[in-house]
A and B are shown apart, each in its own frame.
Chain A
Amino acid sequence: METYDVVVIGGGLLGCFAARNLRRWDLSVALLEAREDVCTGVSRANTAIVYPGYDHKPGTLKTEMTVRANARFDTLCRELDVPFKRCGSLMVGFGAQAEAVLRRKYENGLAAGVPGLRLLSGAEALALEPALAPGVTLALYAPSAGTVNPWALGVAAFENAVDNGAQPWLNTAVRGIRAEGGSYVVGTDRETFSCRALINCAGLSADRVQALFRAPDVRIVPSAGDYLVLDQTAANAPGHIIQYEPEDGGKGLTAVPTVEGSLLLGPSERENETDFATTLPGLDFVRERAGRVLPRLALEETIRSFAAVRPNPQRFDGGSVGGFVIDNPAPGFWSLIGIKTPGLTCADELGRHVAEHAAAYLQAERNMAFSPQRTGIKKAHGMSCEQRRAAIADDPDYGEVLCRCEDITRAEVLQAIRRGAVTVDGIKRRTGATMGRCQGSRCQQRLVQLLAQEGNIPACAVTKDGRGSEILGGGHETV
């Protein structure tokens, strides 16, 4: 039996931030993750926006948390050494119906205290963002909106949690939960855990994980959305986040100039889908909407399409849930169920929130040794010549570029592996390798070799994204 003060179930963004914030207190913390790495579920595909906070009703936990989280985001990313781009957003409307939506959000935002919010005329919006379609009639400008790489943030929170003493348990899937003499016993396919407080951050499975103990009032009805990624060289890409409100009140589109320099377009939306598979109508929808709002955008520079899955919380009578659901099925047990947009923005705030509840429940003292600082992998790209020269002198692996598209060196890849990447996608999430225009067709083999060498396993055992995704020798076992 493994005994901890608190067990966190789920190593997505929320679980990693819960573990990080729990260590602000003098509590022993275990983080249980079913997969081989963190951020492989809902967190792996996301619109990557740090929202300003005008989308929801003022006065709600969701809105208050979003505005607060947004204001803290520079500090958070500085602490965790993660790139953050506060590029601002323009929600653009075409026609009266869309304008009404924008004005309502503007009022919401003012009431919620969103800084710098302005309504711009079509001409003003075009002056600020020339890539827009000329027909724009009104725009809501939010200079505080920004973008962050969700994986980079999640991995950073994980590393910071572990640096502060949280114990990660990877490849550990929860099978049962029961209460026993004031504690919880969590059964997994490996060890059995005993804890006094339990935080459920199991993403798409959060409702089912809680149901192992007591069924929640809500269930998760996933919906999928399709995205396109355009090369950083794509002409006429916007410099701001663009959120398009169509004239007919229908579903719009978001365009995000990512921190890596690529442009993210999406999502389409499909109900009741759990697999990370795109559809042709979904991809067509994204292209068509992009053509409306960014008419000169070089869509032919698409380098990838992918699907994201959102955990929508729904009541059993079918009613939808507007706010964040933080369930408390029993003393000392908190469940984050169906945290969708703006979950990325609020990840650290939600982590703080549940950590404070758990600390109060356990009457824990502050952990004076906690350090919020984490140092990321030093990136060769963006260094000055002098810095890069010094980096190579210090570590010759910085001289060897492995991923040409994104300018990522062997040194960065080796550090990613030494920090816990065990798959090609794990390297991608930590370094950005394979994310560029060739999508790994040139560097994947080098990554496989390094994973094999560092993990002391044969190359044919290396996977793209966990068990069953072996890259080489495919099909041997089906004979």
Chain B
Amino acid sequence: MKRCELLIVGAGVAGMAAAVAAWDSGCRNLVLADRADRSGGILPQCIHEGFGLSAFGAELTGPDYADRWAAALKRTGVQLLLNTEVLSVTETKTAILSSREGLGELGFERLILATGCRERAVGSLPIAGTRPAGIFTAGQAQALINLRHQSLGRNILILGSGDLGMIMARRFTLEGKRVIAVVEQNDHYGGMARNHHRCIEQYHIPMLYRSTVSEIHGVGRICGVTLTQLDSGRREYISCDTLITAVGLIPERELARGLGDPDWLYLAGNCHRIHQVADSAAAEAEAIGKRIMQEGQR
């Protein structure tokens, strides 16, 4: 069985930042594994600006920001395993890796999970009605539009006003689609003021506060939703052909399930906690990468 000193799972910003920091702190036997065919995690689909203000002192797009980290990674000797799924991790510090080349076992001394987060799906919400086509999570829609150049629909309703919901409201508008409204259950948008200003206000996209989607209509493809005003209980049918849900992010820690809290396991980036900006995930991961080496020397 192959062995390494440090295994990092996930080559998004957190994984890359942790890898660079660990390398710079003296770690020389380090593997960074990712299921995708490139590094960067979610960043390549985030084509809007706003990344890197603190890490690089510049306002970059997601792909450019990912490239900066990839360049930093490239000057190290970190072994990057792409197209590689980490299937499981055992208590005996062994990871099972799957790729088209085969199934491998990799022993490690320490493990950083930088597996990011997943989006809360519509099925987990108390929404009644049918389960037609035309419902996407915001991140799923972002990947389809920005990476696959697909059209999803024409009349878009967005549920949830976190940063991703607001960014996608602007993105659909720029694609020539009609964003009917962004629906938010609270009385204030969920994301950053900067995104509200740039994505909602500047594009005159309607916000519906203290409201939620309570029912989905349509057989085959979605044709509308019932919108409920939370204070008055008033219900209203709104016609749409696409529903985008931006209703929260959940740290992705499935690999850590059942392991307890061993001293060799670290969580970095969104898999530890949901960060508002990528720089914050990177900073946290860098600190872990450094700390691991210091702890290793003790």
Q: Chain A: residues with CB nearer than 8 A to chain B?
A: 226, 229, 233, 275-280, 282-284, 302-306, 385, 388-389, 392-393, 396-397, 399-401, 404, 407, 437-439, 441-442, 444-445, 459-460, 463-476, 478-479
- Once A302-B123, A385-B103 are accepted as A-B contacts, the answer to whether A475 and B128 lie under 8 Å apart by CB is no
A472 to B136, CA, bound (A): 10
On whether the beta carbons of A468 and B119 are closer than 8 Å, the reply is no
Residue of A393, A441, A445, A472 most packed against chain B (CB within 10 A): A441
Which of B138-146, B203-211, B282-290 participates in binding chain A?
Answer: B138-146
Give, as a whole number of angstroms, the nearest-CB distance from B140 to chain A: 5
Contact of A439 among B35, B102, B123 (CB under 8 A): B123
User: In the complex, what residues of B have CB within 8 A of residue A306's CB?
Assistant: 131
On whether the beta carbons of B96 and A475 are closer than 8 Å, the reply is no
- Extra A-B contacts (7), CB below 8 Å, given A393-B102, A399-B100, A474-B154: A385-B105, A400-B100, A439-B123, A441-B140, A463-B133, A470-B133, A472-B150
- In the complex, 9 of the A-B residue pairs with CB atoms within 8 angstroms, ordered by the A residue number, are A302-B123, A305-B128, A389-B103, A392-B101, A392-B103, A396-B100, A439-B121, A441-B119, A474-B221
A122 to B242, CA, bound (A): 50
On whether the beta carbons of B150 and A459 are closer than 8 Å, the reply is yes
Indicate with 1 or 0, residue by residue over B75-103, a CB within 8 angstroms of chain A CB atoms.
00000000101010000000010111111
- Once A399-B99, A445-B148 are accepted as A-B contacts, the answer to whether A276 and B130 lie under 8 Å apart by CB is yes
- Closest 3 pairs between A and B when the two form their complex, measured CB to CB: A468-B220, A304-B123, A474-B153
* B226 nearest in chain A by CB position: A280
Chain B interface, >50% SS class: mixed
On whether the beta carbons of A303 and B133 are closer than 8 Å, the reply is no
User: In the complex, what residues of B have CB within 8 A of residue A442's CB?
Assistant: 118, 140
The verdict on B265 contacting chain A, using a C-beta distance below 8 Å, is: no
A278 to B219, CA, bound (A): 13
On whether the beta carbons of B102 and A389 are closer than 8 Å, the reply is yes
Q: Chain B: residues with CB nearer than 8 A to chain A?
A: 35, 83, 85, 87, 96, 98-103, 105, 118-119, 121-124, 126-134, 136-137, 139-140, 143-144, 148, 150-155, 214-215, 217, 219-222, 241-242, 254, 257
User: In the complex, what residues of A have CB within 8 A of residue B215's CB?
Assistant: 280
Contact of B129 among A277, A388, A445, A471 (CB under 8 A): A277
Give, as a whole number of angstroms, the nearest-CB distance from A440 to chain B: 8
Contact of B123 among A279, A303, A396 (CB under 8 A): A303
Give, as a whole number of angstroms, the nearest-CB distance from B297 to chain A: 34
Give, as a whole number of angstroms, the nearest-CB distance from B74 to chain A: 25
User: In the complex, what residues of B have CB within 8 A of residue A279's CB?
Assistant: 128
On whether the beta carbons of B123 and A229 are closer than 8 Å, the reply is yes
On whether the beta carbons of A478 and B119 are closer than 8 Å, the reply is no
A28 to B127, CA, bound (A): 47
Give, as a whole number of angstroms, the nearest-CB distance from B102 to chain A: 5
- Once A392-B102, A401-B98 are accepted as A-B contacts, the answer to whether A441 and B241 lie under 8 Å apart by CB is no
* A399 nearest in chain B by CB position: B100
On whether the beta carbons of A467 and B144 are closer than 8 Å, the reply is no
User: In the complex, what residues of A have CB within 8 A of residue B98's CB?
Assistant: 388, 392, 399-401
On whether the beta carbons of B144 and A465 are closer than 8 Å, the reply is no
On whether the beta carbons of B100 and A469 are closer than 8 Å, the reply is no
User: In the complex, what residues of A have CB within 8 A of residue B127's CB?
Assistant: 305
- Once A283-B126, A438-B121, A469-B220 are accepted as A-B contacts, the answer to whether A476 and B154 lie under 8 Å apart by CB is yes
A471 to B153, CA, bound (A): 9
On whether the beta carbons of A467 and B220 are closer than 8 Å, the reply is yes
Contact of B128 among A280, A397, A464, A474 (CB under 8 A): A280
* B105 nearest in chain A by CB position: A385
A459 to B148, CA, bound (A): 11
A302 to B143, CA, bound (A): 25
Contact of A437 among B121, B151, B242 (CB under 8 A): B121
A271 to B231, CA, bound (A): 31
A283 to B126, CA, bound (A): 8
On whether the beta carbons of A465 and B220 are closer than 8 Å, the reply is yes
Contact of B133 among A226, A282, A284, A471 (CB under 8 A): A471
A302 to B241, CA, bound (A): 25
* B223 nearest in chain A by CB position: A478
A464 to B134, CA, bound (A): 9
User: In the complex, what residues of A have CB within 8 A of residue B132's CB?
Assistant: 464, 469
User: In the complex, what residues of A have CB within 8 A of residue B122's CB?
Assistant: 439
- Once A439-B121, A441-B139, A469-B221 are accepted as A-B contacts, the answer to whether A399 and B153 lie under 8 Å apart by CB is no
